[in-house]
Structure 1
Amino acid sequence: MHPWKRGRKTKQVFHCSFSDIKGKGKKNLPQRKKPETAAKQAPAQPAAKGKTDDLWKKGVTWVNSPVGKAAAACAATILFLGTVALVTVYVLNYKKHAQVLAAQQKVRDFANTYYPKWNSMNDYGKFAMVVNLSDYFVNLTMLNEELQLEIDDVRQKLNSGWRVFRWNIYLFSDDKVSWPVAVNRCQEVNTHLASITTQEEELYIDTEARNKRHNFWIGVKKNPKKPHGVEWISGVDTKVTYWDRSTGQPDAETGEDCILISNVCPLLSCWHDYPCFLQTKYVCKKSPDPKFMGHMP
């Protein structure tokens, strides 16, 4: 074959092969999208706006529904009540603050009037002094209440036959009991079996026993460990004894540990020791509380 023809034929064959390869390559490789096509396939912005409009329409529809109207009314009520509560709290706090300021001013005025030297103090010092003074008045009020109870008790006892001697009142009983029972009888009426602290008191009880013509238990008992060998159940120290020496009192007989006032004896010498189980009358004594009396004459 002619060389030229052979080359032409070869060229034609090569051209056909290249086209086939090129066609296959385009089929297998991923194709690049053109800018215009990509722009057409991008999500459109108006779609999101459409969703917002749909939500707004649904909200309006819900608000106009019976349930929405009821919820709106409830919310409005809660808001109104909350506003009223806040205003009320504010007004109350304002009034309370005003009252505190007024009270503080009254304290200052009282302090300056009651004790002019407090004028030189600051508010803290004045308030402290007024608080102390207030505590004093409170204690005084409580003391007055106790004093009133004490007065009522004494008045009742005087109406029941108790006798008065100096600052004390006495009950000379009509019933006869043993010495321990006599102690309990006096304690039941908030008193004690009579203790004797002065010669005048001893003379008074001796005289009453003689006039009533009867013996009376008193609140003293033998105790060898105590001064003068006796002790008062009231806790008063024994300074003087008033034994009936004319009859040899106190005698040495055992079992005679309790003491009574005899109605047959020299005055100021009427103590007799007797067995505690002996039944006789007794003397109860009530003394005023020292906190009410101060220094008694």
Structure 2
Amino acid sequence: MGKLALAKRGASRRNIASRKRKAKTNETGASAFQDLVTFFKSPVGERLIVLEIFIFTVMTLLVFILYRKELKKREELQVAMDMIRTVVVGTDPIYEDKDDLEILAAAQNISAEMQYFANLNDQLQKEIDTLLENLNNGWVIYEGTFYWFSIEIGSWTDAQKHCEQEGARLISVETREEQYFINKQVERHQKFFWIGVFKDKGKKWSWLSGMEAAVHYWNYYEPNYEANHDCGAVSYDCYYERCWMAFECDLQIHYICKKVPNDTWL
């Protein structure tokens, strides 16, 4: 037999084998499909189908709920953004055409300013409370400064210490108007009061600050030159508006404290 005949016979056998395999595969596939159909028609298969439908339905509902929540968040965010824009533009119309990021930046600046003023308001309220407390405790206010006309008596040194305990100092007089105010208060009390003027080691009349009392308001024949009359006081019996008198520093009389508030009080 020739080679050509042998080749044809081999090809024919291969074709037959291939058709058999395809037929077998088709039979297997048909059988598997038939088995699947049979399974889904069974009670177990029906329960599986119902379970899959239930899971699909739940997943679909869950996705829908999440979508609605996200949509609601976006709506709420937009409402909040619109409110912020209204406030910012109402504060300064220059922001009317700005985008959301610029509006948020402006809102942050405004918030920082509001916080600053809120803190300042709290500080002022504390200062007001302190003012009211001092006034309720008998301090007198004049030109933004507190004055205490003591009820108790003591020496000049005691008076100085008591004033310091109150966060104040024995009074120094800085203007003619202030001295006039002091004179009126002393006249109303009808008592002598120590003030913060004294004779220093150089025999000069000075304030507790160390400054010389260049402007003074000595009464008639004052300061006298009697021994140890080295501390100044204010009398209610004045020569015109000149009310200062020199006494011995151990004399037990009333005294005037002066408290100068912080700059935030003025």
TM-score range normalised by the length of the shorter chain: 0.5 to 0.7
Segment drifting more, 266-275 vs 167-176: 266-275
Does residue 112 of the first structure (1) align with residue 52 of the second (2)?
A: no
Give aligned-pair identity as a percent: 26
DSSP-derived class of the 2:90 partner: helix
1:260 equivalenced with 2:237 (yes/no): no
TM-align CA RMSD: 4.3
The answer to which structure, 1 or 2, has the higher relative contact order (CA under 8 A, 6+ apart) is 2
- Taking structure 1 as the reference length, the TM-score comes to 0.50
Alignment of 1:49-60 (within 5 A): none
Secondary structure (helix, strand or coil) at the match of 1:271 reads: strand
Q: Distance in 1 between matches of 2:116 and 2:196?
A: 34
Ranges in structure 2 where 5+ consecutive residues have no aligned partner: 1-65
Q: Give the structure 2 partner of residue 242 of structure 1.
A: 216
1:270 equivalent to 2:247? Answer no
Deviations 1:89-123 (A, max 9, x none): x9xxx89x968877665443322121112335565
Aligned residue in 2 for 1:173: 150
Structure 1 segment 198-213 matched on structure 2, within 5 A: 198-213=175-190
Asked if residue 193 in structure 1 is aligned to residue 135 in structure 2, the reply is no
Q: Secondary structure, in 3 states, of the residue corresponding to 2:238?
A: coil
Q: Which residue identity lines up with residue 268 of structure 1 in the other structure?
A: E
Per the alignment, residue 66 of structure 1 pairs with none
Any gaps of 5 or more consecutive residues in structure 1? 1-89
Partner of 1:270, secondary structure, is strand
Q: Which residue of 2 aligns with 1:136?
A: 113
Instruction: Tell me: CA distance 1:181–1:160, structure 2 relative to 1, closer, same or farther (3 Å).
Output: same
* Matches of 1:284 and 1:202, distance apart in 2: 14
Q: Can you list the C-alpha shifts for 1:15-50, whole angstroms capped at 9, x where unaligned?
A: xxxxxxxxxxxxxxxxxxxxxxxxxxxxxxxxxxxx
Q: Would you say how many aligned residue pairs link Structure 1 and Structure 2? A: 198
AA in 1 matched with 2:184: T
Could you say which residue in structure 1 is the equivalent of 2:33? none
Aligned to 1:262, what secondary structure does the other structure show? strand
The alignment partner of 2:162 has SS state of helix
2:257 counterpart of 1:280: no
| Alpha-carbon offset, residue 169 of structure 1 | 4.0
> Is the 1:199–1:268 contact (alpha carbons within 8 Å) kept by the matching residues of 2?
no
TM-score by length of 2: 0.54
- Cα pair distance change 1:127/1:282, threshold 3 Å: farther
1:182 maps to which of 144, 159, 167: 159
1:172-193 deviation digits (Å, cap 9, x = unpaired)? 1111123343234234334443
